[in-house]
Amino acid sequence: MECGPVDAKDRSAEPTAPVTFLFWNIHKKMILDTVVQLAHNEAVDVLILAESIISTAEMVAALSSSQARHYYYAGAGVSDHIQVYTRFPTRLCRPIWDEGGLSAYGLSPPVGQDIVFIAAHLSSKLHQTDDEQALACSRLREFIDRVEQEQGHHRTVLIGDLNMDPFESGLTGSEGLHAIMDRQIAGRNIRRVKGLNRHFFYNPMWSLLGDLSPGPPGTYYYPGSGIVELFWHTFDQVLLRPELIYSFRPETLRVIDKSQQLRLVTAKGRPDKNHGSDHLPISLTLHL
Amino acid sequence: MNSESLWGDLTDLHRDKSPKQLLEEQAQLLNEIVQGLLCATVEIAIHGSNMSVNLIIVAPALNNYRYSVLSIFYDPANMYPVHVKNATVESSPLVKCSSESEFVECLRVILSSSVVRKAIGSLISHSEK
């Protein structure tokens, strides 16, 4: 693996086209109509659902109804903790590897460069300590390294419910995901840490934390009674390898609380668990 | 008594093609070249007294994947100037074309660009697999 800064080559001479991703942990809710409306409103190309108990056949039929471009279920052959639906033919969006809450897919858009996206639903804080979560991220890093080695590139997007906030050590540490808040630093590509090279991720979700961000303060609201309570968490995140920073359009990254007529939060601005999920969806568009 | 035409000689009237017609011609030409693998089409929207026309390439074999090539904006009553937005290059400025010849030249630059050629090649390649 090469050291030094990421190749910031000018891709203006190459054709690119937008690809819109949307991830939502729907908390085992039967909210088919809401998911479909959201996907159509946001013109989603790759829809990733966690904790979905909606039948994939039902979802494909509903997503494709009245649409010039059909949706396909891309998750055939992998475990069902994550469901991936796509408007790309399945030969262009294929499962690569599936392991312990992670599903890796290869995406070859008709126009633009191939990427890998990894859909994640990591274990809840209810079942493990913060330390255990952080240590488990080293396995996640190894999984990503294996996938990238096999695919021969580092154009990787990680998207999902990580059940950790962006500032937790599993996310930021070099032995975990090594995901940082600054594109310029992440653009160095690799950091040498105690004799070993560690690839960066860029985590744009840092820019969406708190009530001064353009959308909701987080993606998940938990009003606990402990001594330390954040109330809002941003468990649902998207991380980008430096190679994809130039494909990322910051203005497209959103925590979605409303989409046209669809409202996913209560009057107090918190996730509406009665009509939606306890998590809010996130979306972004990459020009690949 | 035979009626006399008071219109004068209309046979040599020069009828300009509208910008939309010019785009439709180019779409048709591409469709003939790619022989059904791709389908170039124009989509029209009216905004008050102005019209926008988008030139799109659709790949039927790829679940009707759409690649936007360019958009034009003009007043159909006057036709020119027409403003052209190159959709294949992000943040490209609107280009003002004051006449048909300027517009045709602008189209030539965009449609024959290496970016568009590569995109068409990629769409054909993926469609044929």
**Could you list the pLDDT tens digit for every one of the 288 residues in chain A?**
343 444 445 677 899 999 999 999 999 999 999 999 999 999 999 999 999 999 999 999 999 998 889 999 997 556 667 999 999 999 999 999 988 789 999 999 999 999 999 999 998 888 889 889 989 999 999 999 999 999 999 999 999 999 999 999 999 999 999 999 999 999 999 999 999 999 999 999 999 999 999 999 999 999 999 999 999 999 999 999 999 999 999 999 999 999 999 999 999 999 999 999 999 999 999 999
C-beta atoms of B115 and A108 within 8 A: no
Position A6 scores a pLDDT of: 47
Per-residue pLDDT at B85 exceeds 80 = yes
Provide the phi-psi class of B94: left if phi over 0, else alpha when psi is between -120 and 50, else beta. beta
Position B91 scores a pLDDT of: 83
C-beta atoms of B119 and A70 within 8 A: no
User: Which residues in chain A are closer than 8 Å to B90, comparing Cβ atoms?
Assistant: 12, 16, 287
Position A277 scores a pLDDT of: 97
C-alpha A165/C-alpha A163 separation (Å) is: 7
Whole-structure pTM value: 0.91
> Which chain A residue has its CA at the smallest distance from B67's CA?
A17
User: Which residues in chain B are closer than 8 Å to A92, comparing Cβ atoms?
Assistant: 62, 126
C-alpha B47/C-alpha B75 separation (Å) is: 10
C-alpha B85/C-alpha B72 separation (Å) is: 6
Interface of A with B in 91-120 (CB under 8 A): 91-92, 108, 110-111
Per-residue pLDDT at B58 exceeds 60 = yes
Average pLDDT rounded to a whole number, residues B44-59:
95
